[in-house]
Amino acid sequence: MKQKKTGNIRTLAFATFLAILLAYSNHFDNSFHFDDDHTIENNPALRDIDIYKFIVDGKTISTLPTNQSYRPYLTIENAIDLKLSGDGGTRVFHIHIFITHILVCILLYFLTKIILEKSGFQGRKEYWALLVATSFGLLCANAETVNYIFQRAEIDSALFVLAGLVAYLAGGRWKKYHLYLIFPLIGFFAKEMTFVFAPLLLLYLLIFEENMDMLRFYKSEELKKLKRSLVKTLPAILLTIGYYIFYKIMIPDTWTTGGDNISNYKYLITQPLVICHYLVTYLIPYNLSADTDWKVFESITDYRAITGIILLAGVIYLALKTSKSKKTRVISFGLLWFLISLLPTSSIMAYAEVLNDHRCYIPYLGLGISVIFGAKYYIDKYFPNAYTSKNGKNTLTVIILLFLGGNAFGVYQRNKVWHNDLTLWSDVTEKSPKNARGWMNYGVALMQVSEFEKAEIKFLKAASLNPTYSFIYINLGILKGAAGSPKEAEMYYKKAIDCANFEHVAWYYYGHFLLNAERYSEAETALLKAIEYVPDYYSARVDLLQVYLKLEDWQRLREEVAIISNSYPSDPITIIYNQILNSKKPEKR
């Protein structure tokens, strides 16, 4: 009998893999998007797999200084996949990411199974654990993360968080010698989201080992449980603190969250409703958008802020309340996992985007556990014969298949949206019509296929929504230059500079325009202005090389080549210009 059950679970597990593979079968050639441009496609640091440099130099992750966070594991992955891809395509990246997604599902299965054993769950634990893993693997909202190549870091973090927890729960040498910490340590190098490992480990200890009543945490008996759990979690806490200090040393000074001009307070009062949006999206992915048009609320008296706070308070109360009963602890664990793992992006630190659906990859690991066992608790309480009667079994089977099948269909459809820039940004303008960046990027996609008139309409629409966003005018300048209207192009470049945001980018593109117009002295001035704002601006320095070559200013060319060689010694541009200089005789003094 046991052998038959084992065979059944293996068959179902294989069917799950095939279902996930089928759902994602049309995504393996989807193109690069968003940050993939400056972190992968046009990042010269990735042309050589220099692991030591990736670890010691956070600037290698991106050519944009404001995006240079410290994630060397991610940089190594991208460099390896770029090398393996050969032609610069995305298939290798997507295969690698999909495999990681499958590994996450496998670890989620084992974590859920162990938790059910620890909680004294009565029932076929392996089947319920497989249902949790399957629902996560096919979850429509996760397609936003799986398709977005640079956000593979979210999946990496999830992998190492789960591996650390499973290793800890396995006990033995993993726990005795704290070897389980190897996994979150690796995850820290992938993305900061791995910092949630210690809080999640603490959460497990409180709920399943201490049986803490979270709603009455203030009582002396419950505080003793908290103290004992904190002692057990101390190695993970100390590791996190130690790495955070190291991280702050290693992260480039130029990095920002993008929310520098957003009030932390306004961002905070907006997040309760954002969290509620994430909750609804798990169940009904009705409005997934790659780039939403949500804005921060101006006041806590805004009815949306009040609604979000009330609803979130209800969710928190439910999460704490369900921790008391043995029958509902798994629900509490899943809900609190969801809330805790949202803290890095949905609290006091403001980001440029108020919400991003790809941020929920790790939170949905816990929410899935909570939803499934919440539904089971409801069925057990109000429909006790559902598992034994024929009609009950058939009804449950239909509901499960509809949920999984609906999500699989949704994944397949979202993959189509992420196919290329035209499909993606067209969808964004439909789902998020007030998003200026969405309209602008749709215009860029149209411009790339020479649809200049349509592109200009999209750019002007973007400008009407955000008239001070310099990137819009930069792209209008590029468009007018490509359309053969240099005077209009220059007007737009100057307008971009006047916007007084992203000045380094505006000055660079203006300088690039002047270089192509053979106005070399003016181009030099503009490019030096860009470098004045951002000294490590790779593209601006490459254009300066061309300027000095055209001007035959060999001394300045040597100085500039020396600077760029220091950062990118194996870059083809560096090699070419060194060859040019070597062909010249030394200047006479």
Please write the tens of the pLDDT for every residue from 275-292. Answer: 999 999 999 998 899 999
Q: Report whether pLDDT(462) > 70.
A: yes
- Provide the percentage of residues in the chain whose pLDDT is more than 90: 81
pTM, two decimals, is: 0.93
H/E/C letters for each residue in 510-575? HHHHHHHCCCHHHHHHHHHHHHHHCCCCHHHHHHHHHHHHHHCCHHHHHHHHHHHHHHCCCCHHHH
- Band of the pLDDT at 490, cuts 50, 70, 90? very high
What is the arithmetic mean of pLDDT over 220-231? 95
Alpha-carbon gap, residue 429 to 161, rounded angstroms? 35
Long-range contacts formed by 389-396: CB under 8 A, 24+ apart = none
Q: What is the pLDDT of residues 76-124, one digit of tens each?
A: 999 999 999 987 799 999 999 999 999 999 999 999 999 999 888 888 8
The pLDDT value recorded for residue 364 is 98
CATH superfamily of 421-582: Tetratricopeptide repeat domain (1.25.40.10)
Residue 229 structure tokens? 């759990």
Return the axis-axis angle of helices 329-340 and 361-382, rounded to nearest 10°. Answer: 160
Nearest to 333, CA basis, from 307, 306, 288, 372: 372
| Least confident among 64-73, 155-164, 491-500 | 64-73
Alpha-carbon gap, residue 168 to 180, rounded angstroms? 6
What is the arithmetic mean of pLDDT over 516-545? 92
Contact assessment for residue 534 and residue 508, using Cβ atoms and an 8 Å cutoff: no
Alpha-carbon gap, residue 470 to 486, rounded angstroms? 18
Instruction: With residue 587 as reference, give the H or E element that holds it.
Output: none
Cα atoms in the Cβ-side hemisphere of radius 13 Å centred on 538: 22
CATH 1.25.40.10 residue ranges for the chain? 421-582
The pLDDT value recorded for residue 348 is 87
What is the arithmetic mean of pLDDT over 439-460? 95
Alpha-carbon gap, residue 445 to 448, rounded angstroms? 5
Nearest to 444, CA basis, from 418, 470, 425, 466: 425
Residue 194 structure tokens? 């791995």
Contact assessment for residue 155 and residue 107, using Cβ atoms and an 8 Å cutoff: no
Q: What is the pLDDT of residues 49-78, one digit of tens each?
A: 999 999 999 999 998 878 889 999 999 999
Q: Report whether pLDDT(586) > 60.
A: no
Q: What angle do CA 569, 573, 579 make, to 5 degrees?
A: 85
Residue with tokens 């979210």: 154
Residue 309 structure tokens? 């706070």
Q: Report whether pLDDT(6) > 70.
A: no
Q: What is the pLDDT of residues 327-361, one digit of tens each?
A: 999 999 999 999 999 999 999 888 989 999 999 99
DSSP code per residue over 269-334: HHHHHHHHHHHHHHH--TT--SS------S-TTSHHHHHHHHHHHHHHHHHHHTTSSTTTHHHHHH
The pLDDT value recorded for residue 589 is 41
Residue type, 339: L
- Band of the pLDDT at 3, cuts 50, 70, 90? low
Q: What is the pLDDT of residues 238-252, one digit of tens each?
A: 999 999 999 999 998
- Band of the pLDDT at 588, cuts 50, 70, 90? very low
Q: What is the pLDDT of residues 199-222, one digit of tens each?
A: 999 999 999 999 999 999 999 999
317 burial (CB, 10 Å; 0-12 / 13-18 / 19+) is: exposed
Length of the chain equals 589
Alpha-carbon gap, residue 62 to 79, rounded angstroms? 12
Alpha-carbon gap, residue 12 to 8, rounded angstroms? 6
Q: What angle do CA 264, 347, 200 make, to 5 degrees?
A: 155
Alpha-carbon gap, residue 285 to 97, rounded angstroms? 22
Alpha-carbon gap, residue 315 to 168, rounded angstroms? 28
Residue 312 structure tokens? 């979130």
